[in-house]
Structure 1
Amino acid sequence: MGIITEDMIKQFQKMLDDIDGSLKMTFENMHQGYPGENLCRFLKARDGNISKAQKMLLDCLDWRIQNEIDDILAKPIIPADLYRAVRDSQLVGMSGYTKEGLPVVAVGVGLSTYDKASIHYYIQSHIQMNEYRDRVILPTATKKYGRHINTCVKILDMTGLKLSALNQIKILTAISTIDDLNYPEKTDTYYIVNAPYIFSACWKVVRPLLQERTRKKIQVLQGCGRDELLKIMDYASLPHFCRREGSGSSRHSRTEKDDNCFSLDNTYHQQLYDFVKRQAELKDRVAPVKQGSFHVDFPEPAPDDAKIAETIQSEFQRLGDQSKLSKSLSNLDINGH
């Protein structure tokens, strides 16, 4: 990918001068006072091709309007017990900031089950965290650190990853597609920790399929990654599953509730949920908020993403077949054959 220049951004901006008011309004909600930097994200996502970046952005703005994304932070998942069930099965949280001020987002890939609610609740929850990050967390970090901050780092915990994760491919692909198309270039680096054999075997097959831009962002760390991560963040910002080798399950780590960044009792999730409830109360409503998921359209994945998902499925299947064969041979040995 070539360097994104100021002239490219200005040319892109000029192409957007004639869009209608509703598109401009939702774009303002996206850029939070930094239009040029946000145009740069879409240019990067399309390798500097201005016409492709323009189409991507316009498609994103249409998606936001059609799915009422600007209002999604005023649409709580209720009742609270349902939201707690979503949080317990979709392990995502924020543990702190890097030394440069980038939010540290933790994702419990291996132990997320996505089995306590419909796919629509998980999509809604994911988009709400994206919007809260972009409209609240990043602007607050920008003000605190005195420079524009518009990306985060993600630490992906593979603890507990099993072949049964194959059942989650659909929802994970949907979430990934939404992020790729509508929240491009929002993650500076992905750190993968606590990777079991099943991940390592699958990674060897999937890595060559990724775009170079994506490959450069992914770092697979040894063990829990503590020592490497402490180079870019303080100990207090480490997710609980990175704090010591052999820390055990990222879901049931023996830490205080606030230390477990996945827990609904964690400060980040409490602030997010309170924010959504306040926005719902402030919004003029004819009728009270009713229980029910907020359905968001999620597009078909791009051909490259679909190929990656298919590769993961086939690799998991191969590993599963190997495991069955190994067990069969082991049984034969035990029985003396």
Structure 2
Amino acid sequence: MGIVTQDAIDQFKALMEEVDEPLKRTFQNIHQGYPTETLVRFLKAREGNVMKAHTMLLDCLKWRVDNEIDDILAKPIVPADKYRAIRDSQLIGLSGYSREGLPVFAIGVGLSTFDKASVHYYVQSHIQINEYRDRVILPSATRKYGRHISKCLKVFDMTGLKLSALSQIKLLTIISTIDDLNYPEKSLTYYIVNAPYVFSACWKVVKPLLHERTRTKVQVLSGCGRDDLLKVMDYASLPNFCQKGSGSSRHLENAMENCFSLDHPFHQQLYNYIKEQFSIREPVGPIRQGSVHVGVPDSAVEEMDIAKTLESELQKFDYQHGIHGSLDKLKINHD
């Protein structure tokens, strides 16, 4: 277990025995029958320090209770056109599974615009995908492959990445902070593909700021990454933008191949699951419109430092390459 010792696990378990019942109930939704492995994840996120890991987990459990995260999979985003607009502007999908049984999530970083709804909708959608992954996808993979599967692989498509993406740093920092504080150690590897020159400039800035634990998970692959990814997954599980090397699959005509589309089986199953959960909870009530407002944890120091440094360095990059004025209107509020 590396930095995590059995003594640390035992101490952590003893501390968790003392928490209040509401926190114990939401902890069950986190660990899904594997409490020890979940404690290990939080210990790894805090370098094996039991007290820091305990504080982190307690904060996570309180966040879940305060924001009713256990019920978020029973809160559909309606109407369907609103959800379709979110899917078209927040590109993420499940493309398949690795040979080891890990879910492969594709994220269209470069072409995600986050401009079709409020921040609350995007945060709600992101958390719903996290919860569906942890409560449905991973347990299903565990049963299928006959061993505990608690992590996924992520493939980030940088096709279309431009300096204008700077305008989304605050939203992306919010999402990243939620993941870091409440869903730690859920990704085994982050693969970067179709990276343009501007990404190289960003990566040189960001890489030294990342914690070594995170840095070692990131692999920047050549081109569309197909050959490298085929070492860990079959061709059918490759995101489309890696299969053909033709960039993001956002505009594919065949929705069955486009894992970003609402019409893809993954998103259809997710959306139907959420509607079914709502009907179980409130069988005679109409689905309420409007986003769920989730309290955002105080931004982690690392994420805010990265965001501020990246903004500063990209400003320099912008001027050095003669793209004067393109960032003048992008004022990022870090409050």
TM norm structure 2: 0.94
**1:20 & 1:2 partners in 2: Cα distance?**
30
Q: 1:260 to 1:49 in 2, by over 3 A?
A: same
Compute the displacement of 1:286 (Å). Answer: 7.7
Identity %: 66
Paired residue secondary structure (1:94): strand
Q: Secondary structure at the match of 2:105?
A: strand
Work out whether residues 263 and 269 of structure 1, in 8 Å CA contact, stay in contact via their aligned partners in 2.
yes
- 1:285 Cα offset (Å): 6.5
The answer (yes or no) to whether the contact 1:110–1:162 under 8 Å persists in 2 is yes
Q: Is the 2:95–2:106 contact (alpha carbons within 8 Å) kept by the matching residues of 1? A: yes
Q: Could you list the runs of 4 or more consecutive aligned residues of structure 1 that deviate by over 2 angstroms after TM superposition?
A: 284-289, 322-327
Q: Distance in 2 between matches of 1:175 and 1:99?
A: 28
Superimposed CA distance per residue, residues 162-199 of structure 1 (whole angstroms, 9 cap, x where no aligned partner): 01100100110000000000000000000000000000
Match of 2:268 in 1: 270
**Aligned residue for 1:203?**
203
Task: Give distance in 1, aligned partners of 2:62 and 2:134.
Answer: 18
Residue 57 of structure 2 corresponds to 57
What's 2:214 paired with?
214
User: For the residues of structure 2 that align with 1:14 and 1:325, how far apart are their CA atoms?
Assistant: 57
For structure 1, which runs of at least 5 residues remain unmatched after alignment? 328-337
**Bigger shift: residues 24-33 or 284-293:** 284-293
- Report the CA distance shift for 1:192/1:262 in structure 2 as closer, same or farther (over 3 A): same
Q: 1:130 to 1:326 in 2, by over 3 A?
A: closer
Are the counterparts in 2 of residues 159 and 250 from structure 1 also a CA contact under 8 Å?
no
Corresponding residue for residue 234 of structure 1: 234
| Bigger mean CA deviation after superposition, 39-48 or 3-12 | 3-12
Q: What's the offset of the Cα at 1:323?
A: 3.0
Return the alpha-carbon distance in structure 1 between the equivalents of residues 240 and 173 of structure 2: 26
How many residues end up aligned between the 2 structures?
325
Task: State the partner residue of 1:174.
Answer: 174
Q: Measure, in 1, the Cα distance between the counterparts of 2:202 and 2:49.
A: 32
1:250 equivalent in alignment to 2:252? no
Q: Tell me the amino acid that sits aligned with residue 157 of structure 1.
A: D
Letter of the 1:103 partner, please give it. P
> Is 1:2–1:47's contact at 8 Å kept on the other side of the alignment?
no
SS at match of 2:51: helix
In structure 2, the CA distance between the partners of 1:167 and 1:286, relative to structure 1 (3 Å rule), is: same
The 1:212–1:153 alpha-carbon spacing in structure 2 relative to 1, beyond 3 Å, is same
In structure 2, runs of 5+ residues without a counterpart are 326-335
Output the CA distance in 2 between the equivalents of 1:135 and 1:27: 12
RMSD: 1.5
Q: Which residue type is aligned with residue 68 of structure 2? A: E
Change (3 A) 1:65 1:321: same
Counterpart AA for 2:48: G
Asked if 2 retains the 8 angstrom alpha-carbon contact of 1:241 and 1:253, the reply is: no
1:2, distance to aligned residue in structure 2 (A): 4.6
Contact 1:121 1:294 in 2 (8 A): yes
Deviation at 1:111, TM superposition (A): 0.3
